[in-house]
Amino acid sequence: MKGKLLTLSVLVLIVGMLLAACAPAAPATTPTSVPATPPSKSAVPTPAASVPATSLGRNIKVGIVDTYSGPPAAFGNEALKGFELALKEINKTGVLGAKIEYAKRDEKFAPDVALSMAKELVLQEKVDVLVGTINSASSLAISGYAKEQKVPFIVWTAKSEKITGANGHRYVFSTSENTAMAGKAGAQGLAKKPYVKYWIAGDDYEYGHALAESAWNNLKKLKPDVQLLGQTWWKTGEPDLAPFLTQIMAAKPDAVILATGGAGMTNALKAAKSTGMSDRIPIWIHTATDYSVLKPLGANAPEGVMGTMDYHFYYPDTPDNKAFVKAFQDAYGTPPGFPAYHAYNTAYFIADAFKKAGSLDKEKFIDALEGLKIKSPTGEVEMRACDHQAVLPMYLGVTKKTSQYDFPIATDIVALQGKDIMPSCDDIKKARGQ
């Protein structure tokens, strides 16, 4: 009897298994209902509606090549502060779930060192983007390497127009004004003056010659009757400019175009006052009205010098600029100068371009950066697509002491729009032989 019951139980079990096998299968989940790679919980949506919110998978790494030793280090260190301030703001929410980090190298104001440092950052640090430097020759050297390696390179201080002009290419960008813009802005101011006989002088290097050439060529177009009496060039870092300026004054020009930059700016202004040139002859120097140039001189800075600049911490007097100045001053104890402004903008161009690209792919990043507009402390700034040059306003003013500060500031400021002082896109094509 027990054997029969056991046999019956086995039969029932087998029948049940056969019925289950013949039952209709449960509906399959469609492939689109479950993402292949679930988005990170920390991902944040991008402003670009066409780009989905996704995680970049890792942090964005920026390689900085700039001058951190010697007198020009003042500009490199200030740019770094502006960049770090922006990163503190950006990294609070991140970039599509990622943060921006950086590695920096000191190029010691030497193009060969700059190139070596750029190679190290690309090949060893595997950076996504290169940025730098105050030295135009260094920037041009890195630019060539960036083109070869197909790595984006953003120039944030150097001002040679060749960077985004004749030597420009797909992989180089500039968030700084350049010598073409500065020279044209200076020429517009000088053309309105009665001066006819000019003397050109400055630092004998890439930036100095590029600036002088731009200013003079634009001035000749605006005022064909101007005359160039002569030129004087001294080596970069020349400590004693008094003999050179004394010689220039002996020629009795109506005005002088001083093409000097970086640490040489402070020295040139100091010499202009000590020799009496700033009292006897009108002078134009690009960045002569900048805070980082005038502050070290204090009350010893000359008055009446005409200068052009794309940023002043006291102008424009807008809520956005006031907020930037306060944040910088709270963090570092001093107001920001132009290197901090440019580097601050650079960080936001990097962040917004990666958001728009939705990827760490370098080519997509470049495509996103072309034509991109960011909100800067001085208003909207566009990265022009045709030459990768930031469209920045220029402020023409004259140094003057006021009761508000212990150093001269720019007064009688005239704002010139970026589009009005930039080479046209057709000019850029011709410069590049296209």
Quote the CA–CA distance of 35 and 43 in Å, as a whole number.
Answer: 15
What pLDDT score does 427 carry?
Answer: 95
Quote the CA–CA distance of 326 and 316 in Å, as a whole number.
Answer: 14
Spacing of C-alpha 383 from chain mean position: 10
What pLDDT score does 246 carry?
Answer: 97
Hey, how many other C-beta atoms are within 10 angstroms of the C-beta on 308?
A: 30
Quote the CA–CA distance of 280 and 254 in Å, as a whole number.
Answer: 9
What pLDDT score does 89 carry?
Answer: 98
- For Cα atoms 376, 296, 241, give the angle at the middle one, nearest 5 degrees: 115
pTM of the model: 0.83
Interior/surface letters 158-181, b for 16+ CB within 10 angstroms, e for the rest: bbbbbbbbebbeebbbbbbbbbbb
User: What structural domains does the chain harbor?
Assistant: 60-177+317-391 (3.40.50.2300), 181-314+394-421 (3.40.50.2300)
Strands 390-391 and 379-383: what pairing? Answer: antiparallel
Burial class from Cβ neighbours inside 10 Å (0-12, 13-18, 19+) for residue 401 reads middle
Distances from the Cα of 11 to the Cα of 15, 16, 22, angstroms: 6, 9, 17
- Answer for the pair 132, 80: CB distance below 8 angstroms, yes or no: no
What pLDDT score does 262 carry?
Answer: 73
What pLDDT score does 180 carry?
Answer: 96
Both structure tokens of 380:
């909207």
What pLDDT score does 54 carry?
Answer: 53
What pLDDT score does 362 carry?
Answer: 98
Residue 396 forms beta bridges with which residues?
A: 308, 414
pLDDT tens for the chain, residues 1 to 434: 444 433 434 333 433 443 344 444 433 333 333 333 333 333 333 343 344 445 899 999 999 999 999 988 989 999 999 999 999 999 999 999 999 999 999 999 999 999 999 999 999 999 999 999 999 999 999 999 999 999 999 999 999 999 999 999 999 999 999 999 999 999 999 999 999 999 999 999 888 999 999 999 999 999 999 999 999 999 988 999 999 999 999 999 999 999 998 778 889 999 999 999 999 999 999 999 998 889 889 988 999 999 999 999 999 999 999 999 999 999 999 999 999 999 999 999 999 999 999 999 999 999 999 999 999 999 999 999 999 999 999 999 999 999 999 999 999 999 999 999 999 999 999 999 98
Spacing of C-alpha 107 from chain mean position: 17
